[in-house]
Structure 1
């Protein structure tokens, strides 16, 4: 990687600019990308998937690490030639052109797989939910989000940011913010700061049916978060559902912890 031109030189050589419609903001400081990869590892030869690599700043750091197979999923075809320049021909790097929301990632790798990505802002949340609740689950994820989204993932009951995303994320995984980045770290700078979240799925995650019910319960509860649960959950059973779960029907969604929502989801069965 040390023999390659700088990321800025590569972008200029290919005449590339970030596309606002794709939510692109490039991280060009290799000291930062290397730190993110250190926080994500060690990989010990396991596969790593990166979504939205863009000019490849994070990719270079991943390829310098102890990762095994490295798979890039890039929707913007303009970056494919630039990313191809990172391929040393040893078969370690694989580049897939496509939308990560539609690509079956389970067919791209074998065995335990890490995901390390500076996620495009417009698809970060749905991708996280898909990885957490879908049939295929990574062994760990180290993901960059807008700071506001990162705070929503790790929020606790009573926090202003506590909502559906926190409940679903923490019901199936342990998540913590491991790094903060100012807008000035990116090219072009976004209007908000960013944060890196490290997510590790739980071994005792709820079964798929419970997760589906959890999504229904949290959608109703936080859709009317200022109302008591007996009202916000009325279509799902209201007070009777709460009593079956052992939850105070006069409580509001933002005060119920993860275990409480899981009890509501199981009672919904």
Structure 2
């Protein structure tokens, strides 16, 4: 760490900062842990990185130490002076945008990595946004994101498990997804009530002939009534029952028993008619 950079706890005390429950904030102080998170995507030296919700800049420091060119989006203006101090210590490496990450344009063009200790209240929505859309591969090169452990398990879940659902399919149908590390609640200030985990997603090939919009519609219908048989949950999706028949998928199965590739096959059949 540059000599001019004081300990993060001192920065927080000096600026009178505290984690906002309304903003889903939980601060991390462990420099070694933060460096490990920043290392998950691989070398970031000279790479563009988008960080959401940097707060007082704990993870931001680690990204800057790794040589990244960081664009950080922060809506809590209390944290902006602390981030400005970081920008002074790492000249030319940090650009801070004040605003809501679900609304503001970060202005980056690919490839860029997303690395973030996401605020819990917007994390899933942001992930679905990054995973959505027909354009593939995306502009982002990888996603390294902190979630509640329960959400992380839903992202990497396999068919047949209780955690398996829409989030697993949207994450896995054209990405490689894994839990990179678990983080104990005691690592945070204040400690959240649940354990956390860092997930890492990297884009894979786009399955041929499949509309992302169609897949999203199919999974929404199937898991909207996950305890019902497919013949019931998918009857409102035009052509879905015929697709099951043509693919040899038993309509008496329930959504959680279908593998990701089976959902992709259904979406491919339906995409032919769109």
Using structure 2 for the length normalisation, give the TM-score: 0.92
2:86 is paired with a residue whose SS is coil
Is the Cα–Cα contact under 8 Å of residues 152 and 163 in structure 1 kept in the other structure?
yes
Alignment partner, residue 33 of structure 2: 32
1:155 aligns with 2:157: yes
Report the Cα offset of residue 129 of structure 1.
1.1
Question: 1:37 & 1:206 partners in 2: Cα distance?
Answer: 33
Q: What SS does the aligned partner of 1:86 have? A: helix
What residue number does 1:91 align with? Answer: 92
How do residues 42-53 of structure 1 correspond to structure 2 at under 5 angstroms?
42-53=43-54
Q: Are residues 205 and 94 of structure 1, via their aligned partners in 2, closer, same or farther at CA, if it must alter by over 3 Å?
A: farther
| Structure with greater helix percent | 1
Pair 1:74 & 2:78 matched? no
Whether contact under 8 Å (1:52, 1:72) holds in the other structure is: yes
Gaps of 5+ in 1: none
**Aligned equivalent of 1:129:** 128
SS in 2 for 1:144: strand
Indicate the residue corresponding to 1:8 in structure 2. Answer: 9
Of 241-250 and 222-231, the range deviating more from structure 2: 241-250
Rounded to whole Å, the distance in 2 between the matches of 1:102 and 1:205 is 29
Aligned partners of 2:110 and 2:141 also within 8 Å: no
Output one character per residue of 1:188-236: Cα deviation in whole Å (capped at 9) or x when no partner: 11110000001101133567x7111111111111111111111110101
Residue-pair matches, total:
265
Offset from partner CA, 1:32-90 (integer Å, 9 cap, x none): 100111112212422011100001110000000032x2111001111001110001363
The 1:44/1:14 distance shift into structure 2, 3 A limit, reads: closer
Which residue matches 2:189?
A: 187
- The offset of 1:142, in angstroms, is 0.7
Q: CA separation of 1:205/1:138 partners in 2, compared to 1, >3 Å: closer, same or farther?
A: farther
**2:28 and 2:11 mapped to 1: Cα distance?**
13
Q: Which residue of 2 aligns with 1:216?
A: 217
Given that 1:172 and 1:206 are in contact with CA atoms closer than 8 Å, whether structure 2 keeps it comes out as no
Q: Which aligned pairs between 1:229-268 and structure 2 lie closer than 5 A? A: 229-236=230-237, 237=239, 239-268=241-270
Report the counterpart of residue 112 of structure 2 in structure 1.
113
Q: TM-score with structure 1 length normalisation?
A: 0.94
Q: Which string of whole-angstrom CA distances, capped at 9 and with x for unpartnered residues, describes residues 13-41 of structure 1? A: 00111111110011111111001111122
Corresponding residue number in structure 2 for 1:58:
59
Aligned to 2:20: 19
Separation in structure 2 between the aligned mates of residue 159 and residue 224 of structure 1, nearest angstrom: 16
